[in-house]
Structure 1
Amino acid sequence: MEPYITINGRKIGSDFPTYIIGEVGINHNGSVEIAKYLIDVCIKSEADCVKFQKREFDDLYTKTVLENSKILDQQTYYTLYAQKRAELSFNDLKFLKKYAENKGLDFLCTPFDKKSVDILEKLQINAYKAGSPDLTNFPLLNYICSKKKPMILSTGMSTLNEIEKTVNFLNTKNIQFCLLHCNSTYPAMKEDINLNFIKTLKKFGVPVGYSGHERGLAISIAASLLGACIVERHITLDRTMKGPDHAASLEPEGFRRLIRDIRVIEVAKGQEKRFLSRGEYFNRNILGKSLVTTMSIKKGEIFTEEMITSKSPAKGISPQFYFEFIGKKALRDLNFEEYLKYSDLGRTASDIKLNPCYNWGFIVRFNDYKNYIQYKPKLFEFHFSDQDLFASLDKWFSETVNAELAVHAPTNWDDDVLDISADSEILQSRSIESIINTIDITKQMVKYFIKQKDKPVKMVLHAPGINRFERINDIELYYKNLHDALQSIDFNGIELLLENLGPFGWYYGGQGFNNIFYNPKEIREFLEKEKLKMAFDTSHAAMYVNSLTKNKITIRQFYKEVEHLIRHVHVADTIGTMGEGLQIGEGMINFKEFLPELIKSNLSYLPEIWLGHNYGGRGFIHGLNKITDIVMNS
């Protein structure tokens, strides 16, 4: 894990969401009302922290300067005058701290002298921010360190040698600290910012952020992308107000946009791994190519380049295997435009040794379940399409299967999403009809599954409350729709299992928003009220966890919240908030923290790897073996 510090229970580092500070500084111009308004700006913009400044002038400046300030050069006189005019009292700061913290906002304040540190200690400040002027001020830094609280330290107007010496000094003090890259010019010119210095600061092995004094938003956003775990910007009511910092500050709308864009960047920058999103998988299947024959071919004929081409959709073997076919014998009779398969190269999934454990199974369709009978799974889960609901079972079943049966209700009807929680009567009605048809065909299938006798069949169902364009706040409407719809359906002979979902859904036209059934607390409350159980999907749970910017939880915490309600498990890895269905170990889930406990409870489970059925189910078999390795080595 990358280095981090903790402020008020919040971890701050490269592995966590950017900690964004609204620096009021002295931009309140001595007015508590303006200060309070700028705190509200931070709250409405969803910043993490608001920061002020504190000076005790007799401890900060020499007596000569304070008594004869007019003899100073004009810039120093102007700065000192502005500082004095904007100084807030202890009671002012106490009021503002309470106001901010009552609204969930961290409150920090920069002390410029030891007396100010003492005042902030009386305020019970959680951490300290030391400004660039004091990076070399060892007496002050030492005094702050004596309070044993985390420190944020800006590095403006300092050389690399000075920064290194201060870092070495702080490392002897046994405190948490981080560095902020900074150019201490107000405003700073873009040519002088030198964002790449963030990389140099990271070599000190402490968290690194950015304190910006430039105009605009782009540079601060770029700093976040370069790994700044803290972004601090001055904020003001109006950049034309009198005072030394206003011109280099952001007005309320600019600060709101800055935070919005940083949060977008956090989600978008992802991981240093390549993965396919669910939408890419859809488009890969539709737009991708597979190898097909250009003529009828008899078993034993030698493949030539003229006999094979690549065409859409991608339902067969990848065109990357094209040249491996040339010069080989056909292993079976092939019709015109028949898809070539992995087995046509003489390779099957049977060359992988399957080593499953506990109560495992496969995800199947009517056209491929027989391929998996040889492995003797405990359970088959049939994933239905809308067309499967009207299939002739005599076509697919000629004998019984020594396994249990589970089914997954369709998630789509033609080019639309099925959603039993929908606020559209037409869509909800169609979804209810689909579930009733799913129940009907499931009951017809029971006679073919020996181990399903006298047991209700597990039926997995999605109830996303999906909206294509936005997240809806009135989630109670969706839960009411779900309740009413379930009450209208006869589930006799069926064990209904509602599956936890990710925060985002997928339309054929792009990403949508799931509005319910992704928050574990809401899931638990609904299922307990309705006396229902669930299917737990590790990939979906991870997508929810990854979407959180505040009050983050682990997947284990998600699992423990709903543990007593789980009856069936789908296992797959995930990256980000849409990269679901990855092979186990290829994403970012720490399976060791929860999967052994889950599997050893003897719940039914199966790997739900995207395209895991390809090449005779190699992806599923690899997934089962990886699960066994994790469980048995725990």
Structure 2
Amino acid sequence: MYITKSTQKYIVFSEDSLVDVLKKINENKSRIAFVVSEHAVLMGSISDGDVRRWLTNNTEIDLNVPAHSIMNTACKRVVLGEEKSTYNSLFHSGVDCLPVVDEAGHLVQLAFQKSEGFYIGSREISEKSPSFIIAEIGNNHQGDIKLAKQLVDHAVASGVDCAKFQMRNVKQLYKNEGNSNDASVDLGAQYTMDLLEKFQLSNEALYEVFDYCKEKNVLPLCTPWDHDSLAALEAYGMPAYKVASADFTNYELLEAIAKTGKPFLCSTGMSSESEIKSTVAFLDRLGADYVLLHCNSTYPTPYKDVNLKYLSRLKKITGKLVGYSGHERGICVPIASIALGACVIEKHLTVDQGLEGTDHKVSLLPDEFAEMVRQIRNVEEGLGSDELPREITQGELMNRENLAKSLVANTPIKQGAIITRSMVAIKSPGQGIQPNRIDELVGKVANRDIDAGGFFYDSDINGVVQKRADYKFDRPFGVPVRYHDYRKIVTDSNLDFVEFHLSYKDLEVNLSDFFDGQEPLGFAVHSPELFAGDHILDLCADDEEYRQHSIRELERVIGITRELKNIFPKTDRPVIVVNAGGWDNKGFIDPALKPAMYKKIADAFNCMDLSGVQIAVQTMPPYPWHFGGQSYHNLFVCAEEIRAFCEENPEIKICLDVSHSMMSCNYYGWDLMKFVEIIAPYNVHMHIVDAKGVDGEGIEIGKGDVDFTALSKLLAEKNPGVQFIPEVWQGHKNGGEGFWLALDFLESVTL
């Protein structure tokens, strides 16, 4: 059984339409949605069977009927805290997903029969959640409570989920009451008892360390080695337990732990497969929630004995969640275990591998532990899903445009001509339709004149997207252009302005090669992000020479903008959209460094002559794409930080990039409407565009996560008259067809 608090994909409100219900059912792939009131009280359920019955019983079909008129009000439910047997009895009646409600009837959890998982504290343990990483401190504190707390600090700094200790009543545990001076005891046992005599912390000291863990917001766990220790930990209120390999066949202790009702983790070191199966059968009869940790109990374990692939077999033969508890040297094995399905990782932590005791030899130093955690999280992110079809990522799309091939005309083609195979060549770059679609193209009637070397586009197969000259918006609107396509894109349109997206090569051209007089439109400029020599603009770079280079390049852009004012006199103070800096190729920075970086950017603008232009720093996403590769962005991502910067630097304004900000909101769990409301007073220019997830940038408007109807209403209230462009990625292709589609959509939602 798997219990989760993530209910959002499964709930609809009572007034939501049947269309909304069907979308939820399609999204969650569980064939059911639960209907709740506005206060999250469970009202009923709607399965795909309920929908079919409703359809067959109604002669007039209205998909806008409210959910409450279709729902099953007698849906089975479980009250939070009920015994596991209650869940199982309801599952046996054919139900696969059960709503779990609190005493007031609020839907708080969902329980699934076909999956495994549970919670330790507020942390979900399942195949769907990030791995639960344990810093095993054990007795590496050497009996020193100060060192124990220091190790907790290192564990917290590493980003672990849990700091774990061990508790023993030595007199109960050993038949000779733990007397290390007993001459009859074997050498190994005598050594272990000697270490325990010297390095055990008292129960009271351990309680103090557990409390310290809570102060530091890391979960404390402990291994009870005997019944007295279990009773002491229960009295403290330990939320879960770890069972050492040595007790994996100790059914009395296992039963006592299971009867606490708490989940636990079991290491399987020193056990045969038949013993593993027997223990699993025993625990399942008790209805326990547990994870099996593959483990080799040698210190250190030779790599040849790790047998990491056994994780897959362990999961197969038991059907249980699995994890890895490692005693080998280094960090590569626990990282690799993630790819084999480990949902729990346990590794020892020390401050000195030369200290007395066997565990120190197999322990990681703090920096090593932190690196292991970072790499585990990277691998988790990289694993993706084996349940979804492969999709082309945003970075791949960019590189496909630059590196792949596409279909081009190898001869001039007149409108009305039938396109033959001999007219088509396959050439780089990949900015037209892909070569595998050649059979769809051949035989079509050309719906436009195509120059030799011109790309074929989807519209050459499926029809032209028409540009209009009567778009209606209550604010100035424009589209992005380059110098070379300006004339073609603005012809036969009623655009108010254009936004020149400059490349660093554009800084070298002669404007008279493209313009022979004054133009009737307004204009804005988007500064290059990349300059010659792979220089990405960064006004807060640590390297002062690099920073000064960025300042000089932006000053060149300001100069070009002033030249363009002579050609486009309608705009008195043109906006220059700038990605001001704050990116990092390695990861997100310490937030404590941000104020100094914002100050560097402010200082950079203060040293420039900004007369006659308006700098608009673009809102940024967490993961910007830098020409086909992903980076990390730290500044102008958070609305509160943007407001603070603009309050301190009133001459600098903001360009709201909706796609960037939507991705930031998705990543950090913010609300886009609240984000926009916070930065609205400083917003002078907008890139209106959609986004998907945390890095799906610039997708077709209306196909992503942005609620454009709500956004339009908010912008009408908070930013009336602020100009915008639809910055659809590759929207300029085929005469700007992506822009015209976007403008049609935005007009329909009354932007």
* TM-score of Structure 1 vs Structure 2, range by shorter chain: 0.7 to 0.9
Q: Deviations over 1:299-320 (max 9, x none)?
A: 5555444433222233434333
Q: Against the structure 1 CA distance between its residues 405 and 4, is the aligned structure 2 distance closer, same or farther, given a 3 Å change threshold? A: farther
TM superposition shift of 1:52: 0.9
Q: Against the structure 1 CA distance between its residues 28 and 563, is the aligned structure 2 distance closer, same or farther, given a 3 Å change threshold? A: same
Q: Against the structure 1 CA distance between its residues 25 and 618, is the aligned structure 2 distance closer, same or farther, given a 3 Å change threshold? A: farther
1:600 paired residue number? 713
Q: 1:500 aligns with which of 609, 619, 623?
A: 619
Code of the residue aligned with 1:554 in structure 2: it is: G
Q: Distance in 2 between matches of 1:625 and 1:84?
A: 78
Q: Against the structure 1 CA distance between its residues 617 and 111, is the aligned structure 2 distance closer, same or farther, given a 3 Å change threshold? A: farther
Q: Against the structure 1 CA distance between its residues 614 and 196, is the aligned structure 2 distance closer, same or farther, given a 3 Å change threshold? A: farther
C-alpha contact 1:186 1:248 (8 A) present in aligned 2:
no
Q: Against the structure 1 CA distance between its residues 137 and 108, is the aligned structure 2 distance closer, same or farther, given a 3 Å change threshold? A: same
Q: Distance in 1 between matches of 2:262 and 2:474?
A: 49
**SS in structure 1 at match of 2:342:** coil
Q: 1:529 aligns with which of 648, 673, 676?
A: 648
**Is 1:460 equivalent to 2:570 in the alignment?**
no
1:550 paired residue number? none
**Is 1:318 equivalent to 2:441 in the alignment?**
no
Q: Against the structure 1 CA distance between its residues 255 and 381, is the aligned structure 2 distance closer, same or farther, given a 3 Å change threshold? A: same
C-alpha contact 2:327 2:347 (8 A) present in aligned 1:
yes
TM superposition shift of 1:93: 2.0
Q: Against the structure 1 CA distance between its residues 10 and 625, is the aligned structure 2 distance closer, same or farther, given a 3 Å change threshold? A: farther
Aligned-pair identity in percent equals 32
1:581 paired residue number? 698
Q: Distance in 1 between matches of 2:488 and 2:255?
A: 73
Q: 2:280 aligns with which of 160, 163, 177?
A: 163
**Is 1:183 equivalent to 2:183 in the alignment?**
no
1:225 paired residue number? 339
**Is 1:482 equivalent to 2:613 in the alignment?**
no
C-alpha contact 2:687 2:727 (8 A) present in aligned 1:
no
Code of the residue aligned with 2:376 in structure 1: it is: I
Q: Which runs of 5+ in 2 are unaligned?
A: 1-5, 7-114, 717-721
Q: 1:338 aligns with which of 430, 450, 454?
A: 454
Q: 2:548 aligns with which of 422, 425, 434?
A: 425
Q: Against the structure 1 CA distance between its residues 470 and 24, is the aligned structure 2 distance closer, same or farther, given a 3 Å change threshold? A: closer
1:540 paired residue number? 660
1:129 paired residue number? 242
TM superposition shift of 1:220: 1.0
C-alpha contact 2:687 2:725 (8 A) present in aligned 1:
yes
C-alpha contact 2:138 2:165 (8 A) present in aligned 1:
yes
Q: Which moved more, 1:120-129 or 1:216-225?
A: 120-129
Alignment of 1:137-176 (within 5 A): 151-154=264-267, 157=271, 159-160=276-277, 162-163=279-280, 165-167=282-284, 169-170=286-287
Q: Against the structure 1 CA distance between its residues 527 and 590, is the aligned structure 2 distance closer, same or farther, given a 3 Å change threshold? A: same
C-alpha contact 1:500 1:541 (8 A) present in aligned 2:
yes
TM superposition shift of 1:365: 1.4
Q: Against the structure 1 CA distance between its residues 203 and 141, is the aligned structure 2 distance closer, same or farther, given a 3 Å change threshold? A: same
Q: 2:679 aligns with which of 565, 581, 597?
A: 565
**Is 1:51 equivalent to 2:167 in the alignment?**
no
C-alpha contact 1:342 1:615 (8 A) present in aligned 2:
no
C-alpha contact 2:673 2:714 (8 A) present in aligned 1:
no
**Is 1:18 equivalent to 2:134 in the alignment?**
no
Q: Against the structure 1 CA distance between its residues 276 and 321, is the aligned structure 2 distance closer, same or farther, given a 3 Å change threshold? A: closer
Q: Distance in 2 between matches of 1:159 and 1:625?
A: 64
2:54 paired residue number? none
Code of the residue aligned with 2:561 in structure 1: it is: T
TM superposition shift of 1:185: 2.5
TM superposition shift of 1:131: 3.6
TM superposition shift of 1:464: 1.5
1:88 paired residue number? 201
Code of the residue aligned with 1:109 in structure 2: it is: C
Q: 1:554 aligns with which of 669, 672, 689?
A: 669
Alignment of 1:369-518 (within 5 A): 383-386=501-504, 391=511, 395=515, 408-414=526-532, 416-421=535-540, 423=544, 424-438=547-561, 441=564, 445=568, 447=570, 460-466=577-583, 474-487=593-606, 496-503=615-622, 505=624, 514-518=633-637
Code of the residue aligned with 1:425 in structure 2: it is: Q
C-alpha contact 1:202 1:208 (8 A) present in aligned 2:
no
TM superposition shift of 1:383: 3.6
Q: Deviations over 1:372-404 (max 9, x none)?
A: 898988986554445667646985999967xx9
Q: Which has the higher contact order (CA 8 A, sep 6+)?
A: 1
Q: Deviations over 1:337-361 (max 9, x none)?
A: 3333444446223599xx9999896
Q: Which moved more, 1:33-42 or 1:224-233?
A: 33-42
Q: Against the structure 1 CA distance between its residues 252 and 341, is the aligned structure 2 distance closer, same or farther, given a 3 Å change threshold? A: closer
C-alpha contact 2:726 2:739 (8 A) present in aligned 1:
yes
Q: Against the structure 1 CA distance between its residues 476 and 29, is the aligned structure 2 distance closer, same or farther, given a 3 Å change threshold? A: closer
Q: Distance in 2 between matches of 1:11 and 1:340?
A: 50
Q: Against the structure 1 CA distance between its residues 330 and 522, is the aligned structure 2 distance closer, same or farther, given a 3 Å change threshold? A: closer
C-alpha contact 2:118 2:124 (8 A) present in aligned 1:
yes
Code of the residue aligned with 2:644 in structure 1: it is: E
**SS in structure 1 at match of 2:715:** coil
**SS in structure 2 at match of 1:320:** helix
1:210 paired residue number? 324
Q: Distance in 2 between matches of 1:628 and 1:13?
A: 45
Q: Distance in 2 between matches of 1:14 and 1:191?
A: 21
Q: Distance in 1 between matches of 2:118 and 2:566?
A: 57
Q: Deviations over 1:235-265 (max 9, x none)?
A: 3456676545455544556434422422332
Q: Against the structure 1 CA distance between its residues 478 and 357, is the aligned structure 2 distance closer, same or farther, given a 3 Å change threshold? A: same
TM-score, structure 1 normalization: 0.75
Q: Deviations over 1:583-611 (max 9, x none)?
A: 5798xx8656xx66434313577664433
Q: Deviations over 1:394-420 (max 9, x none)?
A: 85999967xx97654433344533345
Q: Distance in 1 between matches of 2:474 and 2:203?
A: 64
1:109 paired residue number? 222
**Is 1:365 equivalent to 2:478 in the alignment?**
no
Q: Distance in 1 between matches of 2:207 and 2:631?
A: 45
TM-score, structure 2 normalization: 0.65
TM superposition shift of 1:329: 5.1
**SS in structure 1 at match of 2:455:** coil
Q: Distance in 2 between matches of 1:142 and 1:215?
A: 33
1:611 paired residue number? 730
Q: Deviations over 1:566-592 (max 9, x none)?
A: 34454333456x553345798xx8656
**SS in structure 1 at match of 2:654:** strand
Code of the residue aligned with 2:553 in structure 1: it is: R
Q: Deviations over 1:96-115 (max 9, x none)?
A: 44555555544322223343
Q: Distance in 2 between matches of 1:418 and 1:328?
A: 45
